[in-house]
Structure 1
Amino acid sequence: MSALVWTAVGSLAAWLWLLLGQGFFWRTDMRLPPRREPDGWPSVCVVVPARDEAAVLPDSLPSLLAQDYPGRAEIFLVDDGSSDGTGELARELARLHGGLPLTVDSPGEPPAGWTGKLWAVHHGIGLARARAPEYLLLTDADIAHAPDSLRELVAAAEAGDFDLVSQMARLRVESVWERLVVPAFVYFFAQLYPFRWIAVKGSRTAAAAGGCVLLRTEAADRARIPDAVRHAVIDDVAVARAVKGSGGHIWLGLAERVDSVRPYPRLHDLWRMVSRSAYAQLRHNPLVLAGTVAGLAVVYLVPPVALFAGLAAGSAGAAVAGGLAWLVMTVTYLPMLRYYRQPLWLAPSLPVTAFLYLLMTVDSAVQHYRGRGAAWKGRTYTRPDAAPEQP
C-alpha cells in the first residue's frame, strides 16, 4: 500500500481509539453530579481576581451579589492593578444591587515568581481566611452565575465528598469566529482531559476550569494553594493537579447556567486567548511541540486530505480510510455543537479549526522564543511554569 493509504489507515485507527478509549471525551453529559442539600450550609468566600474588567463587570458581578445561598457567604474582589476603574465600579455595583457583602482590595504588583492572577488569588484567599470559610469559590470577573449557582456547587461537593468541583462556563458564541473556534476549544480540552477520568480517584488526569472552581478550604491548605502553583500560566489545571496530587477528590463538568460574558468577536481575540498559554501547556519543550503538530496533522488534517487525494488518484483505500476517519471525527463533534446550540452542519469543518489551533500553537512557541512569552493584559510571562503533564 502507498504511504497515503498507510497514513489514512493510521488516522482512522487513531479515531477509533479516541472514540472508544479516551474516556468518551466527546460526550457532553458530564454535568453537576447528584446533589442533596446538606443539613447545615457551610460558609463560603468568593474570590474574584480582576484586572481591567470594567467592560464586563456590570454583566457578571451582579450575578454573584444576587446568589441565593442559605449559608454565610461573601465576596472578595481583588483589583489587580486595573487602570480602567474596575475597583470603583465594583463598589458602585454593590451599592446599586445590594446582596452578598463585597470587599474590594488590591494586592499591589506581584513579586518575582508569581503570575499576576495568582498573586491576586493569594491576596483574596488571605482576606477570606479571616472569615474561616469552609469553602472558597474561585471565579473570574467575566463569569455570570445563575442565582442558585453557589447553592448547587456546594450541594454537589457535600453530597459527593469532593474537595474541588469545577464547571466549565459556557463561552460566548455569537460572532462567526466564535462559532467556528469556541466549541472546538472545549472539545479539544475534553479530549486532552477527559472529564470522566478526572473524577476517578487515583487517576493521573486532573483539570479544572478557572472560571468556576469551588474548593474546600481544608484541601486548599493541604495542597498549598495558590503558593504551590504561583508561577503557573495555566493556573486552573495546575490547581486541580495540586489538589488531586495531595489526595483530593475532584470533579469537572460542563455548566448549565454559568456563562462567560467576555466577547471574542475577532479571530485575533481568539488567537491571543489560545496562543498565550499553548506552549506553556507543552512545557516549553520543542520536541513535545513537534510531536503535537505531527499529531494534530495526522489526526485532524489527514482524513480530508486522504479522502480527496484518494478520489483524485483513484486510490480507494486512501479515500475509504480518510472518509471513515473524517466521519468518526464529525460524529464525535456533534454533541459539543448541540451543547453550544450551533448548527450541526459545522461539524465537518473541524479540520479547518484544528488547522487554526495548530497555527496558534506554533505561534505561541514563536512568541516564547522572541521573549514575549504568555502576554496578557499588559503583563508578559516568559519563564516556563510548572504546567501539569498531559494525562
Structure 2
Amino acid sequence: MSAVVWTAVGSLAAWLWLLLCQGFFWRTDLRLPPRRDPEDWPAVCVVVPARDEAAVLADSLPSLLAQDYPGRAEVFLVDDGSSDGTGDLARELAGRHGGLPLTVTTPGEPPAGWTGKLWAVRHGIARARARAPEYLLLTDADIAHAPDSLRELVASARHGGFDLVSQMARLRVASAWERLVVPAFVYFFAQLYPFRRIAVRGSRTAAAAGGCVLLRLEAAERARIPDAIRQAVIDDVALARAVKRSGGHIWLGLAERVDSVRPYPGLPDLWRMVSRSAYAQLRHSPVLLAGTVLGLALVYLVPPVAFFAGLASGSAPAAAAGSLAWLVMTATYLPMLRYYRQPLALAPLLPFTAFLYLLMTVDSAVLHHRGRGAAWKGRTYARPEPADPAPERG
C-alpha cells in the first residue's frame, strides 16, 4: 500500500475515534441543565468589562438592564480606559431604558502582569463584593441576553449545585465569511473541550465561554479569581480550570437566547479574532505548534487530498479511505450548521475552513515572535510568567 493510502487510513481512523470517543463533541443538544425555581432568589451582581465598546453597547447593555429577575440584581460596567465614550454611553442608556441599577466605574491602567480585561474584572468584582452577592455574572460588552437569561442561569446553577454555569453565546453569522468561519470556530472549540466531559466531576476537561459565565462568589474566592489567572489571554478557559481545580462543579453548553452582537464582516476581522490568541492556546510552544499543524493536516486536509489523488491515480483504496474520512467529518459538522441555521451544503467545505485556521495559527506564532502577538485594542501581551496555582481542595 502506498504512503497516500496509509495516510488516508490513518485519517479515517482518527475520525472514527473522534466520532465515538471524544465526548460526542459534535452533538449540539446540550442546553442549560434541568432547573427548578428556588424558594429564595439569591443576589447577583453583573460585571461587564468594556474597552471601546460604544459601537455595540446600544445592542447589548439594554438587554442586561431589562433582566426579569425576581431577586436583587445590579450591573457594574467597568470602563477599561475607553477612548470612544463607552462609559458615558452606558450612563445614557441606563437613563433612557431604566431597569436594573447600573454603576459605571474605571479601574485605571492595568499594572504589569495583568491583562486589561482581567484587571477590569478584578475591579468590578471588588465593587460587587460590597453588595454581598451569592453569584456574579461575568459577561462581555458585546453580549445580548434574553429577558429571562439571568433567571435561567441562576435556577440551573442552584438546582444542579454548580459553582459555574457558562453558555457559549451564539455568534453573529451574517456575512459570507462569518457563515464559513464562525460555526467552525465553535465546532473546533467543542472538539477541543467536549462539553459533556466538562460537567463530570473528576474529569480533567474544563472550559467556559467568557461571554456568559455565572460564578458563585464563594467559588471565585476559593479559586482566587481573577488573581490566579491575571495574565491569561484565554481567560475563560483559565477561569474554568482554576474553579474546577479548586473543587468547583462547572457546566458549559450552547446558548439559545444569549447572542453576540459583534460583527466580523470580512476575513481580516475573523483572522484577527483567531490569530490574536491561537498561539497562546498552544502555550507559546513551537513543539505544540508543529504538532497542531500536523494534526490539522492529517485530520482535515488529508481526506479530500487522498480522495482526489486516488481518483487521479486510479488508487481505489486511497479514494475510498479519503472519501469515508471526509464523509464522517462532514456528518459531524452538520449539527453545528443546523444550530447556526446555515445551509448544510457548507459542511463539505470544512477542510477549507480548517486550512484557514491552520494559517491563522501559524500567523499567530509569527506575530508573537515579532512582538505583536496577543494584541487587543491597543494592548499587546507578552508570554505570561507562570502564575501561582489555585489551592487544591483538601
TM-score (norm 2): 0.98
Tell me the equivalent position of 2:334: 334
Tell me which moved more, 143-152 or 369-378: 369-378
| 1:85-100 pair list within 5 angstroms | 85-100=85-100
- CA distance, structure 1, for counterparts of residue 33 and residue 161 of structure 2: 11
Matched, 1:7 2:42: no
Residue type at the aligned position of 2:267: L
SS of residue paired to 1:56: helix
Matched, 1:323 2:323: yes
Structure 1 moving runs of 4+ over 4 Å? none
1:382 to partner: Cα distance: 1.6
| 1:66-77 pair list within 5 angstroms | 66-77=66-77
SS of residue paired to 1:383: coil
- CA distance, structure 2, for counterparts of residue 383 and residue 182 of structure 1: 27
Tell me the equivalent position of 2:109: 109
Matched-pair contact (CA < 8 Å) for 1:78–1:124: yes
- CA distance, structure 2, for counterparts of residue 230 and residue 124 of structure 1: 14
Matched, 1:300 2:295: no
SS of residue paired to 1:55: helix
1:386 to partner: Cα distance: 5.8
- CA distance, structure 1, for counterparts of residue 6 and residue 319 of structure 2: 11
Tell me the equivalent position of 1:350: 350
- CA distance, structure 2, for counterparts of residue 385 and residue 263 of structure 1: 33
Matched-pair contact (CA < 8 Å) for 1:280–1:384: no
SS of residue paired to 2:280: helix
- CA distance, structure 1, for counterparts of residue 246 and residue 234 of structure 2: 19
Residue type at the aligned position of 2:45: C
| 1:98-137 pair list within 5 angstroms | 98-137=98-137
Matched-pair contact (CA < 8 Å) for 1:283–1:384: no
Tell me the equivalent position of 2:200: 200
Query: Can you list the C-alpha shifts for 1:55-76, whole angstroms capped at 9, x where unaligned?
Result: 0000000000000000000000
Tell me the equivalent position of 1:359: 359
1:384 to partner: Cα distance: 3.4
Tell me the equivalent position of 2:254: 254
Tell me the equivalent position of 2:392: none
Matched, 1:139 2:134: no
Matched, 1:268 2:268: yes
SS of residue paired to 2:356: helix
1:385 to partner: Cα distance: 6.1
- CA distance, structure 1, for counterparts of residue 366 and residue 74 of structure 2: 43
Ranges in structure 1 where 5+ consecutive residues have no aligned partner:
none
Residue type at the aligned position of 1:278: A
Query: Can you list the C-alpha shifts for 1:46-95, whole angstroms capped at 9, x where unaligned?
Result: 00000000000000000000000000000000000000000000000000
Query: Can you list the C-alpha shifts for 1:175-213, whole angstroms capped at 9, x where unaligned?
Result: 000000000000000000000000100100000000000
Tell me the equivalent position of 2:369: 369
Matched-pair contact (CA < 8 Å) for 2:76–2:102: yes
Query: Can you list the C-alpha shifts for 1:322-353, whole angstroms capped at 9, x where unaligned?
Result: 00000000000000000000000000000000
- CA distance, structure 2, for counterparts of residue 299 and residue 350 of structure 1: 11
SS of residue paired to 1:67: coil
The 1:197/1:226 distance shift into structure 2, 3 A limit, reads: same
Tell me the equivalent position of 1:176: 176
Residue type at the aligned position of 1:181: V
Residue type at the aligned position of 2:37: E
- CA distance, structure 1, for counterparts of residue 68 and residue 384 of structure 2: 41
Residue type at the aligned position of 2:336: M
Tell me the equivalent position of 2:311: 311
Matched-pair contact (CA < 8 Å) for 2:153–2:214: yes
Residue type at the aligned position of 1:18: L
- CA distance, structure 2, for counterparts of residue 290 and residue 182 of structure 1: 24
- CA distance, structure 1, for counterparts of residue 384 and residue 280 of structure 2: 6
Tell me the equivalent position of 1:155: 155
1:373 to partner: Cα distance: 1.6
* Count of residue correspondences: 387
Matched-pair contact (CA < 8 Å) for 2:284–2:383: no
SS of residue paired to 1:293: helix
Residue type at the aligned position of 1:378: G
